[in-house]
Amino acid sequence: METIQSRETRGRVADAPSGHWVYRALPASLWPYAQLARWDRPIGWWLLLWPCWWSAALAGAAFFDADQPIAAQLPSFWHLALFLIGAVAMRGAGCTYNDIVDENIDQMVARTRSRPLPSGQVTRRQAWVFLFGQCLAGLIVLLQFNWFAIGMGVASLLTVAIYPFMKRYTDWPQLFLGFAFSWGAWMGWAAYFGSISLAPALLYLGSILWVVGYDTIYAHQDREDDALVGVRSTARLFGDNTKPWLVALYTGSLMLFATAFAAADVVWPAYLGLALAAAHMARQITVLDINDGDQCLKLFKSNSTVGWLIFGGLVLGSAAAAAL
């Protein structure tokens, strides 16, 4: 009798983790769809989620009213939950779309040729149907917000649509990923205030630099294969100068985050979270070995810690302001 482990070995993708709940909770027929959406690799939706949660927390910190209870100064739990569901749905949709666009390229790269589309586990038509289903889930979430936030959310689709093609035409595809993955920096503020201002704009710019930095680390896993098939990236562009570039990118992002905090008038505990995030980023750069693919992946994933530190600092700042 075939065991779960043997079925998992047969159906898994080369760069996907083994032993994940997806392979225990879902029937084998649904594994290719879970792999298309990267449900077995949650780091992607965490990284998409963090700008949303930062923006929601920044908006709560910016809204100070001494006559309101502490809960009124904190980010809306309802908004945080919606952003979580939306991030999972839209990251899955983005990955599915990316795989559809990149099917021919994925066939030529060792790490990706076992993915569901290039390996024939799903057809392009099935992938498109799955993509639209995930987009529908994202739309249902988006419709829970005010009309201004809905409009901002719809506008984000342009950044999602163009990103997969950029690796063919520019050495800076990570910049276009930053445009898409940082869009949540607008959304939390728009959902709270029904408008945008300087603070979320600065948060968005800072997040773009952060995304370029961490995805450059990620892209070093595929540097050699990318060169063979003609895929361009900041990892190939920066090469042995990656560390100085990361210093510039991460420093720029932290400065923009700090300026966003100042523009929103948040109190000092928020900057403590930012300082701890800076220390974590510095450690990434210090230990990075661009020729060690496993380490690059591990350091890339550690950027969720940056997200927690910045978010925690903002929430602590809101609580401190309300308690004063």
Give the chain as a 3 state SS string.
CCCHHHHHHHHCCCCCCCCCCHHHHCCHHHHHHHHHCCCCCCHHHHHHHHHHHHHHHHHHHHCCCCCCCHHHHCCCHHHHHHHHHHHHHHHHHHHHHHHHHCHHHHCCCCCCCCCCCCCCCCCHHHHHHHHHHHHHHHHHHHCCCCHHHHHHHHHHHHHHHHHHHHCCCCCCHHHHHHHHHCCHHHHHHHHHHCCCCHHHHHHHHHHHHHHHHHHHHHHHHHHHHHHHHCCCCHHHHHHHHHHHHHHHHHHHHHHHHHHHHHHCCCCCHHHHHHHHHHHHHHHHHHHCCCCCHHHHHHHHHCHHHHHHHHHHHHHHHHHHHHHC
Nearest CA among 158, 128, 108 for reference residue 36: 128
CATH of the structural domain 31-59+70-323, one choice from 2.70.98.10, 1.10.357.140, 3.40.50.300, 1.25.40.20? 1.10.357.140
Q: Pseudo-torsion of CA 271, 276, 282, 286, nearest 10°?
A: 170
Buried b (16+ CB within 10 A) or exposed e, 104-116: ebbeebeebebbb
Instruction: Per residue of the chain (324 residues), give pLDDT as tens.
Output: 344 444 444 555 655 666 677 888 889 889 999 999 999 899 999 999 999 999 999 998 876 554 554 555 678 899 999 999 999 999 999 999 989 988 887 787 777 788 888 888 999 999 999 999 999 999 999 999 999 999 999 999 999 999 989 988 999 999 999 999 999 999 999 999 999 999 999 999 999 999 999 999 999 998 887 887 788 999 999 999 999 999 999 999 999 999 999 999 888 888 999 999 999 999 999 999 999 999 999 999 999 999 999 999 999 877 766 565
Q: Are 101 and 165 in contact (CB under 8 A)?
A: yes
Region of residue 194 (left: phi > 0; alpha: psi -120 to 50; beta: else): left
b/e burial code for range 44-75 (CB count within 10 A of at least 16 → b): bbbbbbbbbbbbbbbbbbbbbeeeeeeeebbb
The predicted pLDDT at position 236 comes to 94
Q: Which amino acid is it at 103?
A: E
**CA 46/CA 38 separation, integer angstroms:** 12
CA distance 313 to 71: 16
pTM for this one? Answer: 0.90
Assess contact for 273 and 50: CB atoms under 8 A: no
Question: Using N-to-C axis directions, what is the helix angle for 303-323 and 242-263, rounded to 10°?
Answer: 20
Determine the residue type at 20. H
